[in-house]
Structure 1
Amino acid sequence: MSSSIQWASYAFVRLTLALVAGILTYLYIGETLLSWTGLVAAVVLLFGVAQLWASKQRGNTATDVAGLLAVVAVYAAGAALTQQATESRLENHVYRFGSRIEFYRGVVDDYTVVRPATYATTVRVSAVRVAGKWQSATGGIRVSIPRDSGVVAPLYGDVWLVRGAPAPSKAPLNPGEFDYRRYLQYHQVYHQQFLHPDQYRKLAVAPPNLLRAVAMRAARALDGVFRDYVKAKREYALASALVLGIKDDVDQQTKQAYANTGTTHIMAVSGLQVGLLFGVVTLGVSLLPGRRGAMFRLVSALLGVSVIWSYAFLTGLSASVLRAAVMFTFVIVAQASGRQTNMFNTLAVAAFCLLCYDPYLLCDVGFQLSFLAVISIVYLQPRIVACWDAKGYFLAKQQAWQAKHVQGLWKATSWIADKIWQATALSLAAQVATFPLGLYYFHQFPLSFLLSNLIAVPISSVAVYVGLGLLLLKGLVALVGLASPALASVLDLGPRMVGMLFEALIRWFNNYIFWIGHAMPGALISGVHVTAPQAWLIFAVILVLLAFLARRHLTWLALACGLMTVFVGSRVWAARRLAPDERLVFYSIPRRSVVGFWQGAAAHIVTVDSLPLNETERTYRIVPGTIERDAQQVRYYTGWRGSPVPAIQPDSSSVVLAVWRGVQMAFVSGRLDGARKPIPVEVVVLRRNAWVKPEALAAVFGSRPTIIFDSSCKSWYVEKLRPELQIAGWQVHDLTTQGAYVRQVVRPASGN
């Protein structure tokens, strides 16, 4: 056997892995280094020399050297591409102007997200006015505007003139909270701004991409068809999400039900819908006569690509659909080539091209889940199916002496069992690779995913076909209406009947999802905190176990056991480190006063304002921190009454004193006129714009405590009082702008 590196059949897999490594290198350490372009040029030059040398040499050493240099060149190119794609490095980025911006001009460059109280979208800046002079600029700003009467939702391509400077995106405000700032940065957006209706003006309409603008308008027009023909509100919202990817009207309860049962992918237009179209095209082509020859393969490939990209266009060219369309395009092209193709190589080519276009796609959760799921399905599904011959098992029950109807029953059962087993294998295969990411990103794993997907996916797949049929039929009726409105009104009965079937299908699988959630409430493993290194360890264990199953060598099993030991050890070490940890957390929740008393994995959360936390506040502000600490016991208290933390009101009714683990706190919500003697505390929390002056605070509490403005204080109040306190020598913390205030409790050696 040749001693050369046997990578020929996986050439693009190797190159894609090198590109990914280069992107990750820049994301983690590359920003501290100089330009990568020179390194790329040097390595490419070395590769050229090595390739020329290899062509004149005999043996494999020179070829291997040239191959390794090619990998290094792609690795450096990955880092360089990421560096070039990072807009914040540009000299005219909005970052460079800071708060000096008086006005800026920009264009709406994204979909508009409809929220209960606001519209949110992204504006790409083209120019800023600083010191009365306009100059070119670049950068993305995530803007929100109120959904007031008379306020029109922003549209892609709207050119705005905006007054005021945007603020840099905020870091997470509470422990464990979703890092929205980093999410925006991965999309080259570094600023946020809330705009009042009188703060911006629409100047013109100039879409950055005319094709995308037309596609987005087409998607909204098709959404109008679903709105007309699917009457029930929840079913209409799911119809639009299922076929068009528009999820503006999907309520939170529905989203949570799908997340809890592992079927969120049904609502996301991506690989499932594109794959269904790919399957229809493949089936249709297979039924055509004369299915041979290069010309037939070319025509079928063009047909498949046309259908997939037409669907991508009609769904507004969203990122998830584009990703799936590119993936299946490469699969179609590979099949049309007529050669023996390697599916892993085909997927690698698709990923390589997408990452060259936008290296930051690697940070997109959808990108990661899509490619991992498909790779896992390609590799594992045939192997899982081979574990049991479902069709043969039931056909073996068929005997010659049995009646014909009994033989027919066994034959039908074997066909059904085979389809169910293949669907089961597909679902299991997809979960194997995406399992670590589910724990890392979503902190949960639904054990009911198999039962949910076996029923919901087939019904939803039929619903997709029916939904597309409804759009096609409505389009035909609309064309007839151009010539004969009267005939079109008669023919409209067809779309209405299809719409009723579409609505019924959606209701069926939606009710099934909710039923699974209610019938199996304990099937959701939630609140799991996995760090990035631990997620990598889980991936490594899965890969090593797959290698063991393929090679049947005990060395792989021993390595898997070693990695599992490291994983378990990291969990135990984290738990032991957390056990003695005691801290106070003053949470940053808009218009609320909330403090947490943490001891190891247990906590008491007190809402000082005597109003219970709503589900949104608890889910997005408090729960992430509890997951991060693997909290076992978290109790919520409305007001101080009933909480284990002693609290009293001394001389003044506007002051509440509390003590926990030796840390004394004062919560001030009014004047300090009633205080008659000094009160030694370490933390003073000002609430509800408490009417206090620095000298009054010093007289009552001294100059030692830290002053905290909680989130119930107005911005004008903080801006007025904060400078006065800082000049007087106080340590000041504003929860609204600086996020939660965390105070570590240092207990004396004797305990407390």
Structure 2
Amino acid sequence: MITNGRVQLWPFLRVAFFLVVGVLIGDALDCRVPSCVWMWAYVALLSAFVASYFFLRKHPIFQTVVLFIMVVAGGLWRTTCFLEDYDVSFSGKPESYEAVVETQPVEKERSVKCQLAVTKGRLAGHSIIAFFPKKDYQYEDDGTGVDARQLVIGDGLVVCSRLEKAEWERRTADKGRDSHFDYGRWLKVHDVIARTYVPYGSCARKVLSLNSLSMPKRLSIMLDRVRRKAMTHLAAYGVSDDAYAIVGAMTLGDKTALSDAARETYSVVGVSHVLALSGLHLGIIFMLLAAILIPFGSSMGRLIIGNLVLILSIWAYALMVGMSSSIVRSAVMYTCFAFFGLMSAKPQSLNSLGIAVVVLVLGNPMSLWDVGFQMSFLAVLGILAFNERFHYIIKPRYLQSHRMVDWIWTMLKVSMAAQVMVAPIIIYYFGRFSCYFLLANYIAIPAVTLIVYLSLVFYIMAFVSLPFFPRLIAYVLDRIVAVLNASLDWIATIPGASIDNISFSGTQLVLVYVAITLFFCLSYYLEDMYRSAYGYKIM
């Protein structure tokens, strides 16, 4: 295929860019223009694009312009529909509804907090944040007494309470430190439309149908039983509290048991990303399943079945661990890789990233403001953009003959490539830069790989009740986590481990990314000049 530039090779990345532009404009307009206007604009542009395909084939630039304007209109339409759906008024009077527990209840100082997915009522299909009384009380004979501390994900409730608009004001992520974390955006990202306090005797348990919920929510709630069973097995085989928390977070996305001290240590040394399920964890699972399901030399029939099972397994895992933005982005990209492998085509990483952005934004336009989505997208973009730039700093022939140096250099350049794009936004949101992130990643990444592999074997053996082996693996996991935590604690105590209280404005953040983009483009320009002069690559 002959193209007129590198960007022509990445059509889905361009579609994603213009879709994001549409979402940003739609959010800025904030429903000032009704969704029906954008719908008809989209239909008109679609008709114009189809007409240009048949009658103006000799004018590809016109077709391209119409296509991208149509994508922008689609982003405007989707965003306006989303915001209109959130424009709900509340009377201040108690109202009845049915809901299922969507997140594990968390004990606060004076209440128990959890998220409910409404299945029947005015807000059916949306989520609300519910606060239940914490203190003990005598249950009523009619069954209206519910101890919220005993609730688990999937439990059905019939509730009568006063609903109010969720708090959209900006809150800081960390007390005592300025932050750009927007709590209102976070609520929209997670489809939370209201909050309520449930008084004594105002709710009762009930077996409910989940048909009014979206398919991802239904499947996620159903698969959560498997996750809770896996966490139960982990505790039953005698791992320490630290290992239970770390392994649960790294393999099942359950961070409820993580202590504040552990979170702070991982943040200071720059490896908080290993505690949040993302492409790193899913990639380890993907490679393991691919090696089992798609052996080398398989026939086409086995390849098709193996890839389908692989894709289904990846999405089942994503649903089970909660469908966060980073895990959905990874699942979409690995699904694309599986299809590319099935067609014996070269994986198109940037196109796969563009498809992931389109899927996430169409599913929930507010995903653009999700910190996890932003960091996940930027980390992958940094690896894809700068990994190749760093690759030729050391001659490939030397690396081929020195395997240990090759491994060290690979880890170094991938970590640096991701950090180039992620560090500015970490500083913007959290005001921190971790100075020893390279050293910490050399310890954390191999440990995470071992933990994920061993945990998968452990869960399988525990579910089928094999004797001895689960306990042995649990012991090994406990030791690995102990060594990992001790190593990261040591790094965190080194003077200058992190620079804190750095302040970035939104304008400064944009200027930093503009500078990074210009540097990236300049590197290609200099490479082309060098190739023209000397006939081979400098990088």
The amino acid of 1:432's aligned partner reads: V
Question: Which one has the largest radius of gyration?
Answer: 1
Given the alignment of the two structures, is residue 142 of structure 1 paired with residue 136 of structure 2, yes or no? Answer: no
Q: CA deviation at 1:123?
A: 2.8
Give the secondary structure class of the aligned counterpart of 1:166: strand
**Cα pair distance change 1:223/1:426, threshold 3 Å:** same
Which residue of structure 1 lines up, in the alignment, with residue 94 of structure 2?
102
Aligned residues: 505
**Cα pair distance change 1:146/1:318, threshold 3 Å:** farther
Q: Work out the CA distance in 1 between the residues paired with 2:7 and 2:395.
A: 33
Given the alignment of the two structures, is residue 315 of structure 1 paired with residue 321 of structure 2, yes or no? Answer: yes
What does the per-residue CA deviation read over 1:262-304, in whole Å, with 9 as the maximum and x for residues that have no partner?
Answer: 1111111221111001222344567x3525x644542442243
**Cα pair distance change 1:443/1:459, threshold 3 Å:** same
- Unmatched segments (≥5 aa) in structure 2: 137-146, 530-539
Which residue of structure 2 lines up, in the alignment, with residue 676 of structure 1?
none
Q: Work out the CA distance in 2 between the residues paired with 1:354 and 1:545.
A: 29
Q: CA deviation at 1:318?
A: 5.2
Q: CA deviation at 1:86?
A: 2.5
Q: Work out the CA distance in 1 between the residues paired with 2:462 and 2:419.
A: 38
Q: CA deviation at 1:341?
A: 4.4
The amino acid of 1:114's aligned partner reads: V
Which residue of structure 2 lines up, in the alignment, with residue 73 of structure 1?
70
Which residue of structure 1 lines up, in the alignment, with residue 164 of structure 2?
166
Which residue of structure 1 lines up, in the alignment, with residue 141 of structure 2?
none
Q: Work out the CA distance in 2 between the residues paired with 1:327 and 1:147.
A: 43
**Cα pair distance change 1:452/1:436, threshold 3 Å:** same
The amino acid of 1:19's aligned partner reads: L
Which residue of structure 2 lines up, in the alignment, with residue 202 of structure 1?
205
1:328 to 328, 334, 337: 334
**Cα pair distance change 1:392/1:508, threshold 3 Å:** same
- Is residue 271–residue 440 contact of structure 2 (8 Å, CA) maintained in 1? yes
Which residue of structure 1 lines up, in the alignment, with residue 505 of structure 2?
531
Q: CA deviation at 1:448?
A: 1.1
Q: CA deviation at 1:420?
A: 1.2
* Greater relative contact order (Cα < 8 A, sep 6+): 2
Given the alignment of the two structures, is residue 497 of structure 1 paired with residue 454 of structure 2, yes or no? Answer: no
Which residue of structure 1 lines up, in the alignment, with residue 279 of structure 2?
271
Structural mapping, 1:468-487, within 5 Å: 468-477=456-465
Q: TM-score, normalised by structure 1?
A: 0.62
Q: CA deviation at 1:506?
A: 1.0
Give the secondary structure class of the aligned counterpart of 1:161: strand
- Is residue 37–residue 80 contact of structure 1 (8 Å, CA) maintained in 2? yes
Which residue of structure 2 lines up, in the alignment, with residue 189 of structure 1?
192
Q: Work out the CA distance in 1 between the residues paired with 2:254 and 2:191.
A: 23
The amino acid of 1:516's aligned partner reads: I
Which residue of structure 2 lines up, in the alignment, with residue 604 of structure 1?
none
Q: Work out the CA distance in 2 between the residues paired with 1:240 and 1:439.
A: 27
Q: Work out the CA distance in 2 between the residues paired with 1:220 and 1:462.
A: 22
Which residue of structure 1 lines up, in the alignment, with residue 19 of structure 2?
19
- Is residue 102–residue 114 contact of structure 2 (8 Å, CA) maintained in 1? yes
Q: For the aligned residues, what is the CA RMSD?
A: 2.9
Q: Which has the higher strand share?
A: 1
Structural mapping, 1:375-524, within 5 Å: 375-389=381-395, 392=398, 395=401, 414-477=402-465, 491-519=466-494, 521-524=495-498
Of all paired residues, the percent bearing the same amino acid is 23
Q: Work out the CA distance in 1 between the residues paired with 2:400 and 2:373.
A: 40
**Cα pair distance change 1:458/1:126, threshold 3 Å:** closer
Q: Work out the CA distance in 2 between the residues paired with 1:218 and 1:147.
A: 28
- Is residue 215–residue 316 contact of structure 1 (8 Å, CA) maintained in 2? no
Q: TM-score, normalised by structure 2?
A: 0.85
Which residue of structure 1 lines up, in the alignment, with residue 532 of structure 2?
none
- Is residue 157–residue 206 contact of structure 1 (8 Å, CA) maintained in 2? no
Q: Work out the CA distance in 2 between the residues paired with 1:421 and 1:379.
A: 17
The amino acid of 1:76's aligned partner reads: A
The amino acid of 1:525's aligned partner reads: I
- Is residue 139–residue 190 contact of structure 1 (8 Å, CA) maintained in 2? yes
The amino acid of 2:274's aligned partner reads: I
Q: CA deviation at 1:21?
A: 0.7
The amino acid of 2:192's aligned partner reads: V
**Cα pair distance change 1:6/1:259, threshold 3 Å:** closer
Q: CA deviation at 1:108?
A: 3.0
1:119 to 107, 112, 117: 112
Given the alignment of the two structures, is residue 261 of structure 1 paired with residue 259 of structure 2, yes or no? Answer: no
What does the per-residue CA deviation read over 1:700-727, in whole Å, with 9 as the maximum and x for residues that have no partner?
Answer: xxxxxxxxxxxxxxxxxxxxxxxxxxxx
Q: Work out the CA distance in 2 between the residues paired with 1:139 and 1:116.
A: 24
- Is residue 328–residue 360 contact of structure 2 (8 Å, CA) maintained in 1? no
Give the secondary structure class of the aligned counterpart of 1:83: helix
The amino acid of 1:44's aligned partner reads: L
Q: Work out the CA distance in 2 between the residues paired with 1:9 and 1:179.
A: 36
Q: Work out the CA distance in 1 between the residues paired with 2:218 and 2:186.
A: 26
**Cα pair distance change 1:458/1:172, threshold 3 Å:** same
Q: Work out the CA distance in 2 between the residues paired with 1:372 and 1:298.
A: 32
**Cα pair distance change 1:125/1:455, threshold 3 Å:** closer
Q: Work out the CA distance in 2 between the residues paired with 1:119 and 1:496.
A: 34
The amino acid of 2:462's aligned partner reads: K
Structural mapping, 1:638-717, within 5 Å: none
The amino acid of 1:508's aligned partner reads: V
**Cα pair distance change 1:307/1:105, threshold 3 Å:** closer
Given the alignment of the two structures, is residue 28 of structure 1 paired with residue 28 of structure 2, yes or no? Answer: yes
Q: CA deviation at 1:71?
A: 0.5
Give the secondary structure class of the aligned counterpart of 1:201: strand
- Is residue 325–residue 367 contact of structure 2 (8 Å, CA) maintained in 1? no
Q: Work out the CA distance in 1 between the residues paired with 2:400 and 2:42.
A: 60
